[in-house]
């Protein structure tokens, strides 16, 4: 009985890493979707698979949280981290579904650039989360979090430029509405990545 109450610290970090791997998979599929609309359904299905896999990991993490007597980091931080990570993939899935449902056949350089920024922030989320199991070297984690913040700011700038050009140059109202929605979803993905970075940064600062 007592053994079941003992902490299983490594399991949480394993689950974080497994979830982060699905985030990267979703980010890569998103970029490929924006560069190959002919195979949009295929890439959207890849994203769906990643999102469903990540959902299971999230549920497993929360279940483990309820069973574990002593956790390696604060219980609320574990819950916040895994749920915010899950939000990233939910938004990636929303973006892919919108492209398919809106039947978007053409996009813009800004949309492709935003998708690439999303992929880069997803990759850095994976890096930051992967470093959490060793808090003796916080500098690398904090540097990665700073990179995520910088990429989120880049996404904001691209978003403003994209919106400006969209309203100046797009004569098709339906296309304008579709692209505006896609731009906003892409920018939100980087916002959620920044939320994860802020949680990770808080964990590091608390334990350093």
At 107 the pLDDT is: 84
Q: For 121-133, how does the pLDDT look when each residue is reduced to its tens digit (9 = 90+)?
A: 999 999 999 999 8
- Asked if residue 7 has pLDDT above 70, the reply is no
Of 161 and 70, more confident: 161
Q: Measuring CA to CA, which residue among 122, 194, 104 is closest to residue 156? A: 194
pLDDT bin (cut points 50, 70, 90) of residue 10 is low
At 133 the pLDDT is: 87
Instruction: Give pTM, 2 decimals.
Output: 0.92
Whole-angstrom distance, CA of residue 88 vs CA of residue 96: 13
pLDDT bin (cut points 50, 70, 90) of residue 9 is low
- Of the listed ranges 44-58, 83-97, 163-177, the one predicted with least confidence: 163-177
Q: For 17-50, how does the pLDDT look when each residue is reduced to its tens digit (9 = 90+)?
A: 999 999 999 999 999 999 888 888 899 999 999 9
- Of the listed ranges 11-20, 47-56, 68-77, 157-166, the one predicted with least confidence: 68-77
Of 85 and 69, more confident: 85
- Asked if residue 208 has pLDDT above 80, the reply is no
Q: For 144-190, how does the pLDDT look when each residue is reduced to its tens digit (9 = 90+)?
A: 999 999 999 999 999 999 999 999 998 989 989 999 999 999 999 99
- Asked if residue 2 has pLDDT above 60, the reply is no
Domains, the chain, in order of start with CATH, read 2-207 (1.20.58.220)
At 68 the pLDDT is: 86
> Tokens 């940064």 correspond to what residue?
201
């Amino acid at each position: 009985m007592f053994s079941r109450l003992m902490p299983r610290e490594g399991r949480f970090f394993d689950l974080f890493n497994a979830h982060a791997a699905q985030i990267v998979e979703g980010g890569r599929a998103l970029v490929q979707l924006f560069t190959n609309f002919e195979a949009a359904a295929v890439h959207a299905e890849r994203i769906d698979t990643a999102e469903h896999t990540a959902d299971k990991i999230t549920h497993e993490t929360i279940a483990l949280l309820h069973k574990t007597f002593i956790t390696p980091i604060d219980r609320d931080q574990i819950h916040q981290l895994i749920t915010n990570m899950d939000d990233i993939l939910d938004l990636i899935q929303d973006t892919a579904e919108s492209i398919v449902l809106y039947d978007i056949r053409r996009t813009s350089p800004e949309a492709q650039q935003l998708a690439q920024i999303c992929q880069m922030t997803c990759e850095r989320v994976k890096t930051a989360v992967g470093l959490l199991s060793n808090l003796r070297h916080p500098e690398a984690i904090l540097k990665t979090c700073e990179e995520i913040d910088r990429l989120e700011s880049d996404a904001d700038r691209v978003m403003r430029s994209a919106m400006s050009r969209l309203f100046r140059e797009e004569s098709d109202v339906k296309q304008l509405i579709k692209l505006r929605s896609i731009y906003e979803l892409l920018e939100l993905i980087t916002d959620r990545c920044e939320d994860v970075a802020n949680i990770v940064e808080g964990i590091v600062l608390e334990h350093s």
